[in-house]
Structures are given as C-alpha cells and as structure tokens.
C-alpha cells in the first residue's frame, strides 16, 4: 500500500468521524433547548406564588422529559454503542444538566435524592454501561451537586415566601448529601472542583436555618411536621417566645 493510499484511507476515517460528531452536535443542541425549557419551568418555584403549585410544575416538567427521551433515543442511533466515551464530551454537559433537572423534580415531589437508576429511567437510558447508552457515574454526581446549589437558593427563597419549614428539610437533606460525598475519594478533576463548592451550599443553608431558629420562625412548622428536629433544635425557651 502506498503512502498516499494510506493517507486517503485515514482521511476517509477522519471525515466519517467528523460527520458523526456533526450529527451528535445537532441532537445535543436540541437536548439543550429542552433542558432550558424544563429549567425555566422549574425556576417558577423560586417565586412567591410558585410554591403553591409545585406538583403541577413537576407534572409539566415530567411531560418535557418525554421529549428528552425521544431526543436521547435519536442520539443513540448516531454512533456505535461501544464508542460511548469516544464522543462523551459532546453530551457530557447537557447530560449533567438533565440529571440535575430530574433530581430537582424528584426532590420537589418527594424530597428524596433520586437514585442513579431512577434518573436513567426518567431519561430513558441505561444505568449500566453493559447495556448501551448509559449514565456515567461522574455525570450523575455532578448533576446531584448542581441540585445542592439549587436547593441552597430554594432555602433562601422559601423563607422569603413565608415557608419556614422547607429550609429545615433541605438542611437535613443536604447534610446527608454532604456526608455521602465525604465517602468518595475524588481525583483532582472537575467533579472534585464542584464538590468543593458543596460546603458553601451547606453553609448557606445552615445560616438560613440559624436565622429561623433564633427568631423562632421555624416553630409552627416544626411542631406540625418535624417533631424530632423540633426537640433537637429548639429548647423550651424559644417556644415561649412564639411567633
């Protein structure tokens, strides 16, 4: 085989590769569009009136995830299944964003952390690498970290909207999350950088809880829903100076 023949063959391979990337980019763009729509929808919860119809918003968001599923379905057809990581960079960002959105919806609905399997199901993909287009564990964790900062914001805004019980629940949730992440030995990469931001979210929420506690603002809520935290956080003295 002559040198020029070899290079012609290589050039063919490279062009084919670029075509695949082009196709992937197109689908990813559409995915980003859908992700933005979902985000806009969910952003409503930060506004005062938004707290009333959280279930409705979640419902709508879940409908949008149907679009995400079809879009991911078409993404799967753009490249060979066993070359997932070859093109990973192209959808990494949007996938993390989608994990965050799914986790946010699940949190708003049930106040629990979505499992990796559940996210995969919402997005219509596999949790396991062996079975095709899957959710990489680092992407999942990144998405969860984004959820943490969103919840820190939500804690602040729910106080403004007069919902004094939510920050306490968020606090427990995020503390649990924090101790979970502490178990991981992270390398010095992007995930680690994002994890480093988690402590600020934890701090923020703790400040909110503190502000509520010294003013006794969390009293009614805690009596009603969170008795164990109630006894733990607030002494009798605070109950007397009721709001």
Partner 1 sequence: MMSFKSFQLELDTRHDKYERLVKLSRDITIESKRTIFLLHRFTSAPNGEEILNESEVKLDAVRRKIKQVAQELIGEDMYQFHRAISPGLQEYVEAVSFQYFIKTRSLISVEEINKQLIFTTEDREETSNTTSNSHDKQPHTWSLKVTPVDYLLGVADLTGELMRLCIGSVGNGDIDTPFELSQFLRQIYDGFTFIGNTGPYEVSKKLYTLKQSLAKVENACYTLKVRGSEIPKHMLADVFSTKTELIDQEEGLS
Annotated binding site: 150
Q: Taking contact as CB under 8 A, which single stretch among the options 51-59, 82-90, 93-101, 235-243 is the one that binds partner 1?
A: 82-90
Rank residues 88 and 239 by Cβ distance to partner 1 and give the closer one: 88
**Is 125 or 159 the residue whose CB approaches partner 1 more closely?**
125
Nearest distance, CB of residue 15 and partner 1, angstroms: 6
Sites for partner 1 among residues 16-55 (CB under 8 A): 17-18
**How many residues in the shown chain lie near partner 1 by CB under 8 A?**
36
Residue 159: which of 4, 39, 64, 46 has the closest Cα?
46
Binding site for Mg(2+), by residue number, is 150
Q: What is the DSSP string of the chain?
A: --HHHHHHHHHHHHHHHHHHHHHHHHHHHHHHHHHHHHHHHHHGGGSGGGGTTHHHHHHHHHHHHHHHHHHHHHHHTTS-GGGGGGSHHHHHHHHHHHHHHHHHHHHHHHSSPPPHHHHHHHHT-BSSGGGSSB--HHHHHHHHHHHHHHHHHHHHHHHHTT--SHHHHHHHHHHHHHHHHHT----SSHHHHHHHTHHHHHHHHHHHHHHHHHTTTTHHHHHHH-HHHHHHH--HHHHHS--
**Contact residue for partner 1 among 83, 112, 190, 231 (CB under 8 A):** 83
C-alpha 137/C-alpha 141 separation (Å) is 6
- Quick note: the x/- pattern for partner 1 over 122-151, rule CB under 8 A, is -------x-------xx--x----------
- Minimum CB distance to partner 1, residue 175 (Å): 10
Choosing from 4, 40, 241, 242, the residue that interacts with partner 1 (CB under 8 A) is 4
Which 146-185 positions form the footprint of partner 1 (CB under 8 A)? 176-177, 179-181, 183-185
Shortest Å, Cβ 32 to partner 1: 23
Per CB under 8 A, residues contacting partner 1 are: 1-4, 6-8, 10-11, 13-15, 17-18, 82-86, 88, 115-116, 129, 137-138, 141, 176-177, 179-181, 183-187
């Amino acid at each position: 085989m002559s040198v020029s023949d070899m290079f012609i063959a290589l050039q063919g391979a490279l062009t084919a590769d670029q075509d695949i990337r082009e196709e992937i980019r197109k689908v990813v763009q559409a995915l980003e569009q859908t992700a933005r729509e979902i985000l806009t929808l969910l952003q409503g919860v930060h506004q005062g009136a938004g707290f009333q119809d959280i279930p409705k918003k979640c419902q709508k968001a879940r409908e949008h995830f149907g679009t995400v599923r079809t879009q991911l379905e078409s993404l799967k057809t753009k490249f060979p299944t066993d070359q997932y990581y070859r093109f990973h960079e192209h959808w990494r960002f949007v996938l993390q964003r989608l994990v965050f959105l799914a986790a946010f919806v699940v949190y708003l609905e049930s106040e629990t952390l979505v499992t990796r399997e559940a996210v995969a199901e919402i997005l219509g993909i596999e949790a396991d690498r062996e079975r095709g287009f899957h959710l990489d564990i680092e992407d999942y964790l990144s998405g969860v970290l984004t959820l943490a900062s969103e919840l820190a914001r939500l804690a602040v805004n729910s106080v403004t909207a007069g919902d004094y019980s939510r920050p306490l629940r968020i606090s427990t949730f995020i503390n649990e999350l924090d101790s979970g992440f502490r178990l991981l030995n992270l390398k010095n990469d992007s995930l680690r950088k994002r994890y480093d931001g988690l402590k600020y979210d934890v701090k923020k929420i703790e400040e909110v809880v503190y502000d509520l506690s010294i003013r006794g603002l969390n009293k009614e809520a805690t009596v009603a829903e969170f008795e164990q935290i109630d006894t733990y956080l607030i002494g009798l003295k605070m109950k007397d100076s009721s709001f």
